[in-house]
Amino acid sequence: MKLAVAALLVASAVAFAPAQTSKATTALNVNELELGATEPLGVFDPLGWMTSEPESFERRRAVERKHGRIAMMAIVGNIVHNNHITFDGYLSPSNDLKFSDVPTGIDGIFTVPTAGIAQIIFFLGFVELTWLPASQYDGDYGIGYFGGDIFNPEEKARKLNAEINNGRAAMMGIMGNMVAEKITGQTMYEQYAANHFNPFNDGEGVFFN
């Protein structure tokens, strides 16, 4: 069941690639305009931004890629925490707060002390400015693929394409999870444990019983 749930969370990828009007390449020599243009939608630019604002494409693709990476980590972290897998010990000894005391779901962030939130923001800002700068649009920070480089252009394109589409699915997945949690009043774990998959008409729905 848990594997099925994880699969459902990443199964909703759709294509939002802009129209191919110019060449834009990453440091890996892969055409950025071809990445993310997958079936069934293929090239998808409903607002016509590639025609009206072609100079903004590189930044928007960089933002999409980074947000997708963050969302993929969020989805994994959410699944792990909802299965009650936590660190041992104390999150805040001065507040007598253990990691296991932090509730699952969105409300968990509100139990973290203010000093802890400040540390998280400071760390993320430090990473953004020094290691993963937003000004580096190609998204290649020298880390490689699991520590190694990919030298086959076709394989590079396939993996970069998978990253973008999985990131899109994760963005929709984490947002959908948060919305469902607020609509149903149940965390991910509680919804699945109760077979409460549909808030509209499963007998426990918020809108229709």
Q: Return averaged pLDDT per consecutive 10 residues of the chain, 209 residues in all.
A: 40 36 46 71 76 82 90 94 90 92 88 93 90 77 72 82 91 92 85 73 52
The pLDDT of residue 157 is: 82
Q: How far is CA 126 from CA 119, 120, 121, 129, 164, in A?
A: 10, 10, 9, 5, 24
Q: How far apart are CA 65 and CA 49, in angstroms?
A: 18
The pLDDT of residue 2 is: 39
Give the E-state strand segments of 8-143 in sequence order. Answer: 90-92, 97-98
The pLDDT of residue 147 is: 67
Beta partners for 17?
Answer: 43
The pLDDT of residue 186 is: 86
Structure tokens at 43: 């090239």
8 A C-beta contact, residue 13 and residue 165: yes
How many residues are recorded in the chain?
209
The pLDDT of residue 26 is: 46
8 A C-beta contact, residue 184 and residue 200: no
The pLDDT of residue 96 is: 93
The pLDDT of residue 166 is: 93
The pLDDT of residue 173 is: 93
Q: Does this model's pTM top 0.75?
A: no
